[in-house]
Amino acid sequence: MQPVSNLKQSRVNRILGRTGVRLWGLFVLGALLSIGIVALMIVFSVNAQYQQTLGQQRQLAERVALQTSDYMAKLRNDLQTLASLVPLSPQSPNGLTRLLYSVQQNNPAFMELAITGPDGTDLARATRADVRNTGLLNRSGSEPFQAALRSESYTSRVTAPEQYPEQTLALPIVGENGLAGAVMARIDLTTMWDIVSDAELGQQGYAYVVDDQGLSIVSRDLSLLSATPLTNPVVQEAISSRTEPADSKLYADGLVTPGEPVVGFYQPFLIGPYTWYSIVEQPSRDALARV
């Protein structure tokens, strides 16, 4: 038989062993709970950061869309003012030409301005110094003049004949005896550069504008403007859906960062009969940089 002291020691060891196992289990459980809490905190932090990014992208896209709409509306209003001044101005070619140049000096976005008579022939024409002036033209068969004949305003699609985007506007001139001709303008859309150059988001976020064909209209980096439609994922989704998305999304790459994932958002808005899109992109590593 074992001595009584040995039996007592054995019993104590068993009790201590069971207690140690329990303590170790509690330690492991506590560690797992701590890890779980930390994981939840990370998830909440990432989600909060992501939600903040979504809100900032939406606000920036809306701001760029609004400023672009206001800019184009001002150009149309300036052209409408010109159309109303023509019947009140001296009708000599020199007088009308001076009127055109005075308008152009106040707004360099007008790369070309023309006043046509009721037969579609130019009465006066003014161009910027960087635009070739081939003299007075006969525009009687053109879409802008035909719209003016119907007493309608005209807004063309965006084109990029020399890589940089432009648009044509036309309005009828109405005198005392009815239709007296039209005013026409070619608009240099790169003059909206200030709108997107100041659009910042995080360290690397940026904004740009495209039309419903995906043709680039204005970008912070003018070298990214192209005479052919853009094919990056955000643009392709925007022009196919034609509606504002519920939230920003992750896309495979962006305009400025091809091959690098971006978080993007787009805002459709109307310019005349056409839909343009204000697009905001931010490299994903920048969008979640503070997490």
| CATH topology match: 54-71+191-287 vs 79-189 | yes
Residues 223-246 as b or e (16 or more Cβ within 10 Å = b): eebbeeebebbbbebbbeeeebbe
Q: Please identify, in words, the CATH class of the domain defined by 79-189.
A: alpha beta
Which amino acid belongs to residue 275?
T
Instruction: List pLDDT tens digits, range 226-249.
Output: 889 999 999 999 999 989 998 889
Packed helices 4-85 and 93-106: angle between N→C axes, nearest 10 degrees: 160
**CA distance linking residue 284 with residue 189, whole number of Å:** 30
Domain-wise residue ranges, the chain: 54-71+191-287, 79-189
Report the alpha-carbon angle 153-156-162, nearest 5.
145
Q: Given this model, what pLDDT does residue 291 score? A: 47
The residue assigned the tokens 């807004």 is: 155
Q: Which two tokens stand for residue 75?
A: 């150009």
Mean pLDDT of the chain: 86
For the chain, give the percent of residues with pLDDT over 70. Answer: 81
- Cβ neighbours, 10 Å, residue 6: 10
Q: Given this model, what pLDDT does residue 100 score? A: 96
Contacts of 144 (CB under 8 A, 6+ apart): 154, 156, 168, 169, 170, 182, 184
Which amino acid belongs to residue 52?
Q
Q: What does the DSSP assignment read for 221-277? A: SGGG--SS---SHHHHHHHHH-S--SS-EEES--SSSTTS-EEEEEEEEEETTEEEE
Mean pLDDT of 132-142: 94
Q: Which two tokens stand for residue 66?
A: 């609004």
pTM of the complete model: 0.80
27 has a pLDDT exceeding 90: no
CATH code of 54-71+191-287, in short, is 3.30.450.20
Q: What does the DSSP assignment read for 152-221? A: --EEPPPEEEESEEEEEEEEEEEETTEEEEEEEEEEEGGGGHHHHHT--BTTTBEEEEEETT--EEEESS
Contact 135, 104 (CB under 8 A): no
Backbone angles phi, psi at 167, to 5 degrees: -145, 150
Q: Given this model, what pLDDT does residue 42 score? A: 40
pLDDT band at 257, cuts 50/70/90?
confident
Instruction: List pLDDT tens digits, range 169-216.
Output: 999 999 888 899 999 999 999 999 989 888 888 888 999 999 999 999
Q: Given this model, what pLDDT does residue 250 score? A: 93
Q: Given this model, what pLDDT does residue 88 score? A: 83
Instruction: List pLDDT tens digits, range 49-62.
Output: 555 667 789 999 99
